[in-house]
Structure 1
């Protein structure tokens, strides 16, 4: 909890942490309206999967050029540009009048969120280097905090009754807070490093971790995208509880990330990845029970399990010897968001051809793979 106290006590740390919160508020507000958009445009699950693929494609497309843009602008300015662009792009999918425009809107939204994601993680990495303080996991906790705020806001859906108005109000409030704090980081630039040419050997230690990132971020995205439909169609949850899976997932993830820096310091990176996988496996077992309350609890366990994985991977990626922090973070983000790129499409088609239950069995199998990788990494280190 020391990192959490650090963030709240100093605007230098709160400012980038709020960018993490902002990104999930924008993305989560879109996510809770996915069933509404699906019904409005009259598309099936496979079509929705392709639309989500466009969002992921936008995220993935920006990665190869993100580090160059960040280094040219400076990581602080790049983060602010990402905030402004994402504020605009968040409105587009909910305003789309047709399926093709929805796909284009999601591509733009994905590109903006992807760039902001790399910028803000690079920004935290640079601040950690400058100040010799760790708050990466807690910053990701603020990302999850955004999910909690979105989940609580989902209870207002029947009152607001207008997705575009809901997103507009959200964007306005979030942007105002960013305007107050962005001056605390806009001047920051990445410290120069002695670069080495890109090679497989240089990144070899990160390849297995890249697989973990692929599964972790893919699973996280799948739960964000599909938990509402799962509760609605599989567990037959009442409308009031449809957003509860996302809320439980985000709440548990927030708690885990606020505790993550301390746990990692005690047991080490590999063990905390294995522990997270075990907890997530238990979560999927509860989700697959097919009952509303156990499924919601299961989503909470998923959030707790995945909470510590991604921050640890970004911290490693931003500190690879011979690689500038933006490139290292881009590498981890690229492998991780590959899960976002292919996951929604596969799960969408699988849900359409079989069922959402089969989709979640696939996610369970992927986490079992992660657990096996952590055993291999632990053995290799010994």
Structure 2
């Protein structure tokens, strides 16, 4: 809990934590209105899928150049400018008059959120280096908290009755807090490093981190999308319990991220990734038991295990010798996000061709891969 005390007692730490929360408040508020946008523009599910792909395409487009932007502007300024851009672009998908402008607005919104994502993770990495303090896991907890705030904001829908106005209110409120805090980090620049020319020796640890990120975030996405259906069809859970798996996963993930920094400081980043893998492995074993209560407990353990893996990957990626922090984090973000997008799709194909149980056996195999890759990382420490 030391990292939470740092965040709430010092604006230097609270400022970047609020950026993490802000990103998910904007994104979560947009997600609430996806069905409304579909109905308003009179598009089918296939068209909506293409539009959402444009958002993902925007994210991927920015990843290769994000490190150059961050190094050019300085990580503090890059974070602040990306916050401003994302604030503005969050409004457009809910204001567009037709399908084609929706695709364009989602592409630009995706690019802005991608730059914000990489900038804020690089910012926290640099502050950790300067201050010799661990709080990366806790700020990722704030990202999860932002999703909770966006979800609570859905209760305003009947009162406001206007998607763009709702988003506008959220943007203004969130931006006001950012305006009060941005001076605490805007001056920060990445510490100069002795960059080394590209070599397999440098690429190997990044590749291993990328594999873990792809699998871990792919598994997260799969659980978010498939846990309810698994409880309904495989464990035959009562209707009231169908959402309990996702809830248990989300609560445990938020809690784990708030606790993760203290554990990481004691045992180290690589060991906590291994520990998270073991916890997630136990979770999958409980999920595969076929019992509803055990499966819900398993999803909670999944959330607890995965909660510490991704923040630690960003921390490790930002400290690879011979690679500047923005480049390392961009690589982790790119591979992880690819996994988050593709994981649920791959699991869907497995579920369709075999069964949903086989999908979760595949996830069990994936976490074993993470554990094995972690052992290779230890050798490359």
How many residue pairs match? The answer is 378
Of 138-147 and 149-158, the range deviating more from structure 2: 149-158
* Residues 361/87 of structure 1: CA separation in 2 closer, same or farther (3 Å cut): farther
**5+ residue gaps, structure 2:** none
Kindly indicate whether the alpha-carbon contact (under 8 Å) linking 1:74 and 1:190 is maintained by their aligned counterparts in 2.
yes
Q: Within the alignment, does 1:321 sit opposite 2:324 as a pair? A: no
The answer as to 2:315 corresponding to 1:312 is no
Look up the match of 1:250: 250
* Mean Cα deviation higher: 112-121 or 190-199: 190-199
User: Distance between the aligned counterparts of 2:124 and 2:29, measured in 1?
Assistant: 24
Report the CA distance between 1:144 and its aligned residue.
Answer: 1.6
Q: CA deviation at 1:228?
A: 9.3
Query: Whose radius of gyration is greater, 1 or 2?
Result: 2
Report the CA distance between 1:146 and its aligned residue.
Answer: 1.1
State whether structure 2 residue 21 is matched by structure 1 residue 43.
no
Question: 1:147 Cα deviation (Å)?
Answer: 2.0
Please list, as runs of the form range in 1=range in 2, the aligned pairs for 1:1-20 lying within 5 A after superposition.
1-20=1-20
Compared with structure 1, are the counterparts of its residues 99 and 223 closer, same or farther at alpha carbon in structure 2 (3 Å cutoff)? farther
Aligned partners of 1:338, 1:285: CA distance in 2, in Å? 26
- 8 A Cα contact 1:21 1:144, kept in partner: yes
TM-score by length of 1: 0.83
8 Å Cα contact 1:281-1:364 kept in structure 2: yes
Q: Does residue 217 of structure 1 match 2:194?
A: no
Aligned to 1:274: 274
Deviations 1:251-274 (A, max 9, x none): 322211111112123333333223
- Corresponding residue for 1:150? 150
CA deviation vs aligned residue, 1:273-297 (integer Å, no higher than 9, x gap): 2332233345456667899887765
Are 1:75 and 2:71 counterparts?
no
8 Å CA contact 2:57, 2:107 repeated in 1: yes
Taking the aligned partners of 2:305 and 2:130, their CA distance within structure 1 comes to 30
For residues 20-72 of structure 1, give each alpha carbon's deviation from its aligned partner in whole angstroms, at most 9, with x where no partner exists.
Answer: 1111212222334445555665533x655544433222212111111111111
In 2: Cα distance, 1:131 partner to 1:250 partner? 30
Q: Superposition RMSD on alpha carbons, in Å?
A: 3.6
Q: Which moved more, 1:68-77 or 1:361-370?
A: 361-370
Report what 2:179 is aligned to.
Answer: 179
Correspondence 1:1-382 to 2 at 5 A: 1-37=1-37, 41-44=42-45, 49-96=49-96, 98-157=98-157, 160-223=160-223, 226=225, 230=229, 248-283=248-283, 299-343=299-343, 346=346, 362-375=362-375, 377=377, 380=379
Q: Displacement, 1:229?
A: 7.7
Deviates more, 1:151-160 or 1:87-96: 151-160
Distance (whole Å) between structure 2 residues aligned to residue 63 and residue 77 of structure 1: 17
Contact 2:218 2:340 (8 Å CA) reproduced = yes
**Structure 1 counterpart SS, 2:257:** helix
SS of 1:308 mapped into structure 2: helix
Q: Quick one: higher RCO (CA 8 Å, sep 6+), 1 or 2?
A: 1
How far the C-alpha of 1:302 sits from its partner, in A, is: 3.1
